[in-house]
Amino acid sequence: MSKRYLLYHNPDSCCIRDTRNQPQANALGAAALIFLSGGMNLAWSIGFYSQTDELTPSMHLRSSWFIGAIIGASLGVLVHKHLTYKLLTQLSCLLVLIGGVLFAVGQSGGEAAVLAARYLNGLANGLVLPSTLVMAGELTVCYKRGNIASSIEQMSSTLGIFMQIVVSASWDMDYDLTVDQLQGVLCALYGFIAFCLATRFSVESPVRLLAHGEEELAIDALIRLQNPRAVTKETNEQLTEHSSYIAHNKSLSLTGAWCQALPALLRLCLLRALYAMSTSILVIYTLTFTSTSVYGSSSGPYILFGLLRVAGSFSGAFVQDTLGRKLTQLIGFMVCSGAALGLASRFSAEDFVRLSDLRMALWLLLIFQFFAGLGFAPSSVYLTEAFPLSIKRICIAIVYIMELSVHLAICEVDLSVHVDGIYFSGLGIFMLLGFMFSHWYLPETKFLTLRQAQEKFRDFS
């Protein structure tokens, strides 16, 4: 392969940086659409479905997406060595497409078709999430890793939740399509577009290619991940750093890798458990109860709820490589803690809650959502950086399964105002503990290479 060597100076303009590194985001674009469809299904599971549709969700139907995602994450760990990322993504895209079609015909096909659709979409999301977060770390340059990783996973999923909120809250029952049918059509469309993106833009990880001794292919992959496509000074620096990253991880035994991963695994399991609690079915019950009591059938509070969560996620993703991971998380957790405790104080053990307290609880919940989006934006980035290479996918899958299990556990809780007060009291205390925990035990990894970031997570200090 002929090589052209160009001297590359790190550009001062963020626009030039974005243009130069756009192929890195493009390579992960298919996964973003899969997570977008997953966000819509997650929102459906926690209560954002049309009350006018004929199908009333059973507990099994609500839980099916989470169960499918758990199965998918487990399978993804097993098959990633036998499938390239491109093939794995294409398989997941087809599952999303088929699931969307089944969901669109669910009204005529009955609950069995909807159930199958939700299992398939959950399976697709679970299959691709661990590998996508690994790839987000390996395909991107260190000064864009935070923005890209958070945008691909957190922002895409949150945008899917927002879209489902909008269609479920404002869709007219006189339209020919029901809310569920529209969701099915959108998911099928996402699956098709994602398949095209995966076919056109997917790039194999240069880290994986180097680990298999394919240096020429690794260089070619690095060239395809930048504009213009040429071997530059930065390309050679990345190649050297990837080689050092592989050598560092090869020196770890399996036992050593797990010992090094354990501190990070515990931290991120706690972090993503809080993330699940911030978007659980109890949160949506509180939104519905307070909004209906204060504003009647208005869809405004629901749309504002979703919009603020998207705005928080977008803001968090945007500043991951400027303000950094730690500061955004600390700001988000600090405000969320206060908002959750204030919200809990509005619900007493008495059966009657005053209208003024309900109005205040609603606005505190909306504030909570913006800062939750901001505070949890770094969690995707930490997952790309924290674990040793040999067990990274397994660790990410464990964290994801923990998050889904929290959702499943909360789905079993009885929904009531009294439970709301207890729940938000606990959530506020946990967010406060999370704030202190993040301050002491979660490192700042902005601008660090994967090898340097991994070293930051290796112990409990």
Q: pLDDT tens, 312-351?
A: 999 999 999 999 999 999 999 999 999 999 999 888 655 6
Average confidence (pLDDT) over 286-297 = 91
Higher-pLDDT residue of 354, 383: 383
pLDDT for 14: 72
Q: What confidence tens digit (pLDDT) does each residue in 434-445 have?
A: 999 888 989 999
Window from 41-55, 74-88, 263-277, 309-323 with minimum mean pLDDT: 41-55
Q: What is the pTM of this model?
A: 0.93
- Cα torsion through 117, 54, 306, 68, rounded to 10: -20
pLDDT higher than 90, residue 459 = no
pLDDT for 415: 80
pLDDT higher than 90, residue 112 = no
pLDDT higher than 60, residue 230 = yes
Average confidence (pLDDT) over 297-304 = 91
Q: What confidence tens digit (pLDDT) does each residue in 121-154 have?
A: 999 999 999 999 999 999 999 999 999 999 999 9
Average confidence (pLDDT) over 454-461 = 78
Q: What is the mean pLDDT of the chain?
A: 90
pLDDT for 60: 87
Domains of the chain and CATH, by start: 16-203 (1.20.1250.20), 252-461 (1.20.1250.20)
- AA letter at 442: L
Tokens of 437: 């925990």
pLDDT higher than 80, residue 76 = yes
